[in-house]
Amino acid sequence: MNVSTAVVRQLNDTFRQTLAGGTVLITAGVMALGTDAQAAILTAVQGFDAFTCDNDPWNEHDMGALEVAGERIFWKIDYYDRSMTAGADNPADPETCQRVLTIMLAEEY
């Protein structure tokens, strides 16, 4: 693993675990589940650590799938430039990369 991948993984883990340093989007399907389910889903996403070569082939910890209260949930971190108009040139550079964590029902993917 190269240094850049290790940095991206650490930035992704920190953002996902703290929900600080980026934008968090929750889809309409997750919103419709109510505040208790939303809180449980956020907690589960923050604590997610079931990364394998199958679900994390680039070793960046940028996507996951889990089940919470009978609902299949996907989450994904995308990388944008600071203007949010294009993809980030370097996801390992927090000065130029804006992370966006989207949490959705699997059926919304």
3-state DSSP of 68-106: ECCEEEEEEEEEEECCCCCECCCCCCCCCEEEEEEEEEH
The helix or strand, by DSSP H or E, that contains position 1, with its residue range, turns out to be: none
Q: Please give the distance of CA 6 from its chain centroid, rounded to a whole number.
A: 16
Q: Which residue has the tokens 């993917």?
A: 109
DSSP string, 49-75: ----TTT-TTSS--EEEEEETTEEEEE
Question: From CA 103, how far away is CA 37, in angstroms rounded?
Answer: 12
pTM: 0.95
| Residue reference for tokens 């082939």 | 57
For the stretch 5-48, pLDDT in tens is 999 999 999 999 999 999 999 999 999 999 999 999 999 999 99
pLDDT in tens, 47-80: 999 999 999 999 999 999 999 989 999 999 999 9
The residue type of 5 is T
